[in-house]
Amino acid sequence: MKIATWNVNSIRTRQQIVVDWLSQNSVDVLCLQETKVIDQDFPRLAFEQLGYHLYISGQKAYNGVAIFSRTPLTEVSSGFSPILGDIVAEFDLQKRVITGVIADIRVVNLYVPNGSAVGSEKYQYKLAWLKLLGEYLATLQDKETREICICGDFNIALEDRDIYNPKGKENHIMSSPTEREALREVLAIGFQDVFRKFNSETGHYSWWDYRAAGFVRNRGWRIDHHYLTQKLYKQAINCKIDLEPRKLDKPSDHAPVILEF
Amino acid sequence: MKIATWNVNSIRTRQQIVVDWLSQNSVDVLCLQETKVIDQDFPRLAFEQLGYHLYISGQKAYNGVAIFSRTPLTEVSSGFSPILGDIVAEFDLQKRVITGVIADIRVVNLYVPNGSAVGSEKYQYKLAWLKLLGEYLATLQDKETREICICGDFNIALEDRDIYNPKGKENHIMSSPTEREALREVLAIGFQDVFRKFNSETGHYSWWDYRAAGFVRNRGWRIDHHYLTQKLYKQAINCKIDLEPRKLDKPSDHAPVILEF
DNA sequence: GCTCGAGGCG
DNA sequence: CGCCTCGAGC
């Protein structure tokens, strides 16, 4: 089974690139972030014709997540409130969470807030959102005994080896100590970074800024992850970043990451 | 000799379409309208590599005219004021006129104001502009004895046979009596519509609205013209509208019109 | 419908 | 640098 995650930075703009990629990469599940489209305008047809079932949660202009699956998912929900209750409904105005069950594995697809700049209001929102994510995952673990795969764009590089040039990035968004610690706390309830099961080197990234020729100079960040519960982590046989679609004309700024188990 | 006119609705967006068309249609002169780009950003290289000399007069976002010529032009100028003097400089803020001489023929490339709606302020501007055009051409005829080819997007269908469904269009922009009369007055000083030398039928158009599937239903307007002085008119051997580029993906809303003499 | 800014976002 | 929205222009 292959589960991929890919921030596509607009599914309408990237439709052909994603169709072509799916045609050549037979993943069972594809988790998308930054679809940037309301549900009624999502370009479903091309993906359904490839044999995928689509589960989408979008909004206008920003954010938006989707799961494509070769077999139907069960127990699909989007946002925090189906799990945590209506008290957190405010956090669901931004479409950043969608989940479903396949082969008795719960897949949680996330688009973590970027946070803009350390100390900003958006940064505070990111930290609050991560705290809620922790409660969301803990609640899921209480409710269900299934293995869980959380994946998506975390907008956090947990370790210095996940950044092209970590020196002086202590106060940089996506690598500041406070947000790293906030994510570590989430993961501490039982999730492991499966990419690092197979690869401990630096120089492997999943996002490169469009500006300043980030990609050709490999000035990237590894911010797109799969975190797995213990049994699933043990079953994993591969996790790799596919650089090819990032080389195309008009690419997303992110590359897809593929987990295999 | 072939002289073509084409409103491209952004030369940057249409660059490849125009390059491909020029590669397959060996015109000597191509007059472009609505280039929509300042001179320093005009994509010169691709056209120069095809062997053309470029003469351009553009502005940001709107209007803009250009002449491409296989042999260098002489006596090139843009706007009304080089001919009519600085009193009319205000009318040259919009880049709608460029002219040059090839083979002892003066080619005048025009982008006549659209006029928006009959009676509007923009309609008054269109009428004032046409009056000035008449003075401009009369002055040219006084100064020079050359034959003249004026061509471009006139934003006027002079006769009912130039419109797909003329009934009820008496108060429509591009076919109202007042603007038609204004253009007739300009032409009365000695210009003839060369397309009508070869074709007197209706159903031949050069512009179709992007909306409401105008092209596939052939709901068009013939608003792109070549008007010639007498000797040149007699020498003309063909004038035709090339529908092919309008059929392509992401086309201009106008088709090119090719005069041969 | 399809262009072009301008301004927000990252 | 490349998304998005929005309004204007045609």
What integer pLDDT is reported at residue A213 of this predicted model?
Answer: 85
- A152 falls in which pLDDT band (50, 70, 90)? very high
User: Is residue B212 scored above 90 in pLDDT?
Assistant: no
**pLDDT per position as a tens digit, A188-214:** 999 999 999 999 999 999 999 998 888
Annotation marks residue B160 as catalytic: no
Asked if B15 CB < 7 A from strand C, the reply is: no
Arithmetic mean of pLDDT, A45-57 = 97
Known binding-site residues of A for Mg(2+) equal 7, 34, 153, 155, 253-254
Taking the CA of residue A13 and the C1' sugar atom of nucleotide C6, their distance in angstroms comes to: 21
**pLDDT per position as a tens digit, B20-36:** 999 999 999 999 999 99
State the SS3 of B235-258.
HCCEEEECCHHHHCCCCCCECCEE
Residue A203, Ramachandran bin (φ over 0: left; ψ between -120 and 50: alpha; else beta):
left
Question: What would the two tokens of residue B71 be?
Answer: 């042999």
> Residue with structure tokens 């090339």?
B242
Question: What would the two tokens of residue A247 be?
Answer: 């080389």
Contact A70, A96 (CB under 8 A): no
Count of C-beta atoms within a 10 Å radius of residue A24: 10
**pLDDT per position as a tens digit, A114-132:** 999 999 999 999 999 999 9
What integer pLDDT is reported at residue B5 of this predicted model?
Answer: 98
Taking the CA of residue A260 and the C1' sugar atom of nucleotide D7, their distance in angstroms comes to: 48
- A105 falls in which pLDDT band (50, 70, 90)? very high
What integer pLDDT is reported at residue B104 of this predicted model?
Answer: 98
Which nucleotide is nearest, taking the CA of residue B34 and each C1'? C3
Which nucleotide is nearest, taking the CA of residue A10 and each C1'? D3
Question: What would the two tokens of residue B39 be?
Answer: 């001179």
What integer pLDDT is reported at residue B112 of this predicted model?
Answer: 98
Asked if B248 CB < 7 A from strand C, the reply is: no
Annotation marks residue B111 as catalytic: yes
- B1 falls in which pLDDT band (50, 70, 90)? very high
**Average pLDDT in chain B:** 97
- Protein residue at shortest CA distance from C1' of C2: B210
Known binding-site residues of B for Mg(2+) equal 7, 34, 153, 155, 253-254
Q: How far apart, in whole angstroms, are the C-alpha atoms of residue A77 and residue A139?
A: 14
Residue B228, Ramachandran bin (φ over 0: left; ψ between -120 and 50: alpha; else beta):
beta
Arithmetic mean of pLDDT, B48-58 = 97
List the beta strands (DSSP E) in chain A.
2-7, 29-33, 53-57, 65-69, 74-78, 97-102, 105-111, 147-153, 192-193, 207-208, 220-221, 224-228, 238-241, 257-260
Query: Percent of chain B scored above 70 by pLDDT?
Result: 100
Nearest to A35 by CA among A14, A52, A50: A14
Report chain D positions within 7 A of protein CB atoms: 1-5, 9-10
Q: What are phi and psi of B228, to 5 degrees?
A: -120, 150
All domains of chain A in start order, with CATH: 2-260 (3.60.10.10)
Of the listed B153, B162, B193, B224, which one is catalytic?
B153
SS3 call for B207: strand
Of the listed B52, B111, B123, B205, which one is catalytic?
B111
